[in-house]
């Protein structure tokens, strides 16, 4: 079918499904959609309809709708970066961008990473459920699937090199009735096809050893053992610290507002803090990946944000040891999402989620009472069904409710490739779940692209290893006494919920990446992660940041931007 005829077919399918009229133009297998629709959901549906045609490589969706706001880049604030020049500039300081920086520091390349926020990983990365997924939940044959199964297998080595806690707790899929037991061979074949390790089939006695207290009607199940959990906060900081030690430079609070090309090659990047010259630009900008592509003259996809809400429980409520699922959940996937689940965290909390909701605003991280109720009712009921002897879920034990947006394209697959139009531009976009699991394989693929095109020499001084700050709460008495003897600040408990000491906070502030907010310390040292969510320790953490970073207390924020905690001195205002 030629492109003109295919465009007409897609237009007809869109009108049939949405009752809206769109104009479709196809060039080089890229479908561009324009028109005026009555709702945003119809716009998203139209994009997916076009993408579902196998002849379509990607979709640029420019359909207007009520409430659509034009993209306006942030204003330029300074020229302090003018004159700087790097071999490689990476746009985006999420786990993918930071891990790419670390991987490329293996070579004699000057590398800069630009992040628009005041800290790393503040969009998708730290709003994920921190699960290293098995590959059988992804669509076989896609790039997403390939990166998932390869990346999952690489995690043990990555975690070891970076000194990050990582556990393979497995996904336990249980049979609630005899009919479900017929699905075990199907799961076996599915995992084999997707190149996951073959699950272990378990009888009741074996199930009790893996997950005690299951409902009496559950007689059999299967353990997909390669599912893992990790702290995304610790992982991204570890990657950044190791990249920094190997020569990468980080520029926070720095947004890209333009890209300069010459003769279809990358020449420079315009930022809010000046212009940086480069000949390799890696677009790992997540939710704004299509905007960076447009700046460079190579937009062939559209990012549509998909919001997910998650709730986290206090450590006193932890009814499961594995990622627990049932064959009855197989038909409960939400659109293009895997549907969320019951997932323990590496630090001992239980989380329900995430949800999946298409939203217009890429910055929408709002939480709703409806989202909380959906999660609590869906997964709370599942917990009661599968673990009836354990105490029932209690809303009073919820300590956090957060949301984040995934950066999805309409093909719902990863894009990891050099630009077909602009030399020196590499796209690493559309990285949504299971992007965390796929991370090691993604950065390996980017490394291959760079080395095949530019053949950089190896960095003889590269060191892949990094040592973390050992949590005081995890030490035995003898180790604690020795640490306090060396540094008395480790004898001062600041966060009572998580038993975080002043020594840990001070050490976290002096690891190379600038830290100026309460939540940045929360992500690094867990101060404020516990039951009271910083109600007790926040004032003390603020004082420590002010003292150690030599900044006014009024300059310390909750989470960057204008989230200031203090406005001034009370006595000073009274005197006025």
Domain harbouring 322, CATH code: 3.30.9.10
Location of structure tokens 């996809």 = 301
Domain presence at residue 195 = yes
- d(CA 570, CA 249) in angstroms, rounded, equals 40
Q: 288 near 353, Cβ under 8 Å?
A: no
Q: Domain boundary at 182, 203, 225, which? A: 225
Per-residue model confidence (pLDDT) at position 568: 82
Collapsing DSSP to helix, strand or coil, 133 comes out as coil
> Are residues 298 and 310 located together in one domain of the fold?
no
Q: 518 near 557, Cβ under 8 Å?
A: yes
- d(CA 566, CA 563) in angstroms, rounded, equals 9
Per-residue model confidence (pLDDT) at position 118: 95
Domain presence at residue 157 = no
Location of structure tokens 């998650």 = 310
Domain presence at residue 138 = no
C-alpha 45 chain-centroid distance: 24
Alpha helices in 393-537 (DSSP H): 435-454, 477-486, 502-509, 518-525
> Are residues 486 and 570 located together in one domain of the fold?
yes
Per-residue model confidence (pLDDT) at position 573: 60
Closest CA to 169 of 321, 291, 47, 19: 321
Collapsing DSSP to helix, strand or coil, 514 comes out as coil
Tens place of pLDDT for every residue, the chain, 576 residues? Answer: 799 999 999 999 999 999 999 999 999 999 999 999 999 999 999 999 999 999 999 999 999 999 999 999 999 999 999 999 999 999 999 999 999 999 999 999 999 999 999 999 999 999 999 999 999 999 999 999 999 999 999 999 999 999 999 999 999 999 999 999 999 999 999 999 999 999 999 999 999 999 999 999 999 999 999 999 999 999 999 999 999 999 999 999 999 999 999 999 999 999 999 999 999 999 999 999 999 999 999 999 999 999 999 999 999 998 999 999 998 876 566 667 766 889 999 999 999 999 999 999 999 999 999 999 999 998 999 999 999 988 888 899 999 999 999 999 999 999 999 999 999 999 999 999 999 999 999 999 999 999 999 999 999 999 999 999 989 999 999 999 999 999 999 999 999 999 999 999 999 999 999 999 999 999 999 999 998 999 999 999 999 999 999 999 999 999 999 999 998 887 766 565
Q: 285 near 256, Cβ under 8 Å?
A: yes
Domain presence at residue 163 = no
| CA angle centred on 169, ends 166 and 171, rounded to 5° | 130
> Are residues 395 and 310 located together in one domain of the fold?
yes
Q: Which residues contact 171 (CB under 8 A, 6 or more apart)?
A: 134, 223, 224, 227, 322, 323, 324, 325
- d(CA 61, CA 50) in angstroms, rounded, equals 10
> Are residues 236 and 122 located together in one domain of the fold?
yes
Q: Which residues contact 453 (CB under 8 A, 6 or more apart)?
A: 418
Per-residue model confidence (pLDDT) at position 337: 72
> Are residues 308 and 401 located together in one domain of the fold?
yes
Q: 100 near 284, Cβ under 8 Å?
A: yes
Bridge partners (DSSP) of residue 466 are none
What would the two tokens of residue 47 be? 């994009």
> Are residues 567 and 507 located together in one domain of the fold?
yes
Catalytic residue among 48, 117, 133, 401: 133
The total of other beta-carbon atoms located within 10 Å of residue 378's CB is 19
What would the two tokens of residue 420 be? 């077909």
Helix or strand run (H / E) with residue 407:
strand 398-408
Q: 537 near 504, Cβ under 8 Å?
A: no
The total of other beta-carbon atoms located within 10 Å of residue 317's CB is 18
> Are residues 420 and 288 located together in one domain of the fold?
yes
> Are residues 359 and 218 located together in one domain of the fold?
no
Collapsing DSSP to helix, strand or coil, 327 comes out as helix
The total of other beta-carbon atoms located within 10 Å of residue 167's CB is 13
Domain presence at residue 210 = yes
- d(CA 396, CA 345) in angstroms, rounded, equals 19
The predicted model scores a pTM of: 0.96
CA atoms within 13 A on the CB side of 477: 0
Q: 221 near 86, Cβ under 8 Å?
A: no
> Are residues 359 and 425 located together in one domain of the fold?
no
What would the two tokens of residue 199 be? 């699950």
Please give the order of strands across the beta sheet that includes 111-114.
Answer: 249-251, 111-114, 88-91, 280-283, 425-429, 415-418
> Are residues 343 and 390 located together in one domain of the fold?
yes
Domain range for 363 is: 304-408
What would the two tokens of residue 394 be? 């209690």
What would the two tokens of residue 452 be? 């095949």
Q: Which residues contact 558 (CB under 8 A, 6 or more apart)?
A: 517, 518, 519, 564, 565
Domain harbouring 292, CATH code: 3.50.50.60
C-alpha 271 chain-centroid distance: 24
What percentage of the chain reaches a pLDDT higher than 70?
Answer: 98
Closest CA to 519 of 477, 472, 459, 561: 561
Collapsing DSSP to helix, strand or coil, 47 comes out as helix
Domain presence at residue 564 = yes
Domain presence at residue 140 = no
> Are residues 479 and 568 located together in one domain of the fold?
yes
Phi and psi dihedrals of 268, rounded to 5?
A: -165, 165
What would the two tokens of residue 103 be? 């991987």
Q: What string of DSSP letters covers 215-259? A: -TT---EEEETT-EEE-HHHHHHHHHHHHHHTT-EEE-S--EEEE
- d(CA 88, CA 573) in angstroms, rounded, equals 49
pLDDT tens figures, 78-112: 999 999 999 999 999 999 999 999 999 999 999 99
Location of structure tokens 């997950």 = 211
Location of structure tokens 């003390």 = 540
> Are residues 500 and 548 located together in one domain of the fold?
yes
Q: Which residues contact 309 (CB under 8 A, 6 or more apart)?
A: 353, 354, 355, 357, 367, 368, 371, 372, 374, 375, 401, 402, 403
Per-residue model confidence (pLDDT) at position 334: 61
Closest CA to 295 of 240, 342, 326, 258: 258
* Total domains, the chain: 5
Q: Domain boundary at 208, 225, 242, which? A: 225
What would the two tokens of residue 410 be? 């309409």
Burial 463-482 (b: 16+ CB within 10 A, else e): ebebebbebbeeeeeeebee
* Residue 270, preceding peptide bond in cis (omega within 30° of 0): no
Domain harbouring 540, CATH code: 1.10.10.1100
Give the sign of the dihedral formed by CA 488, CA 489, CA 490, CA 494: positive
pLDDT tens figures, 38-93: 999 999 999 999 999 999 999 999 999 999 999 999 999 999 999 999 999 999 99
Collapsing DSSP to helix, strand or coil, 169 comes out as coil
Residue 133 annotated in active site? yes
Domain presence at residue 83 = no
């Amino acid at each position: 079918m030629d492109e003109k005829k295919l465009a007409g077919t897609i237009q007809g399918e869109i009108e049939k499904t949405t009752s809206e009229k769109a104009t479709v133009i196809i060039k080089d297998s890229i479908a561009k959609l324009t028109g005026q629709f009555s709702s945003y959901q119809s716009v998203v549906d139209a994009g997916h309809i076009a993408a579902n045609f196998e002849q379509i490589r990607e979709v640029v969706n420019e359909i207007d709708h009520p409430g659509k706001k034009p993209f306006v880049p942030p204003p330029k604030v300074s020229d302090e970066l003018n004159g700087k020049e790097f071999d490689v500039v990476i746009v985006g300081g999420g786990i993918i961008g930071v891990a790419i920086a670390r991987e490329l520091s293996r070579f004699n390349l000057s590398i800069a990473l630009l992040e628009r926020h005041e800290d790393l990983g503040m969009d998708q990365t730290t709003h994920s459920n921190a699960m290293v997924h098995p590959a059988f939940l992804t669509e076989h044959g896609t790039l997403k699937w390939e990166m998932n199964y390869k990346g999952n297998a690489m995690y043990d080595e990555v975690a070891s090199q970076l000194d990050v806690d990582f556990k393979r707790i497995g996904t336990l899929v249980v049979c609630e009735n005899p009919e479900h037991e017929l699905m075990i061979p199907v799961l076996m074949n599915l995992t084999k096809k997707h190149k996951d390790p073959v699950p272990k089939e378990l009888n009741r006695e074996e199930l009790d050893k893996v997950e005690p207290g299951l409902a009496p009607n559950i007689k059999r199940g299967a353990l997909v053992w390669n599912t893992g959990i990790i702290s995304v906060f610790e992982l991204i900081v570890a990657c950044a610290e190791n990249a920094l030690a190997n020569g990468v430079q980080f520029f926070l609070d720095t947004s890209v507002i333009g890209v300069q090309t010459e003769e279809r090659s990358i020449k420079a990047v315009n930022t809010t803090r000046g212009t940086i010259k480069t000949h390799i630009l890696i677009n790992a900008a997540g939710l704004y990946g299509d905007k960076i592509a447009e700046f460079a003259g190579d937009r062939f996809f559209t990012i549509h944000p998909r919001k997910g809400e998650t709730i986290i429980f206090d450590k006193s409520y932890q009814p499961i040891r594995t990622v627990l699922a049932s064959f009855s959940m197989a038909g409960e996937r939400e659109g293009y999402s895997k549907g969320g689940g019951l997932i323990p965290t590496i630090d001992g909390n239980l989380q329900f989620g995430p949800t999946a909701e298409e939203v217009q605003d890429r910055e929408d991280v709002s939480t709703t009472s409806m989202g909380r109720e959906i999660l609590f009712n869906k997964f709370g009921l599942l917990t009661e069904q599968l673990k009836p002897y354990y105490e029932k879920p209690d809303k009073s034990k919820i300590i956090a409710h957060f949301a984040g947006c995934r950066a999805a394209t309409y093909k719902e697959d990863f894009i990891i490739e050099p630009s077909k139009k602009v030399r020196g531009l590499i796209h690493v976009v559309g990285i949504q779940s299971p992007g965390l699991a796929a991370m090691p394989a993604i950065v390996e693929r980017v490394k291959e692209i760079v080395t095949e095109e530019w053949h950089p020499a190896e960095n003889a001084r590269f060191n892949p290893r990094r040592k973390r700050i050992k949590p005081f709460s995890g030490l035995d008495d003898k180790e604690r006494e020795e640490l306090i003897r060396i540094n008395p600040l480790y004898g001062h408990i600041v966060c009572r919920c998580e038993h975080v000491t002043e020594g840990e906070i001070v050490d976290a502030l002096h690891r190379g990446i600038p830290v100026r907010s309460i939540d940045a310390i929360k992500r690094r040292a867990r101060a404020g992660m516990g039951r009271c969510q910083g109600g007790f320790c926040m004032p003390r953490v603020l004082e420590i940041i002010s003292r150690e970073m030599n900044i006014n207390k009024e300059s310390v924020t909750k989470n960057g931007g204008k989230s200031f905690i203090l406005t001034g001195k009370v006595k000073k205002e009274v005197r006025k």
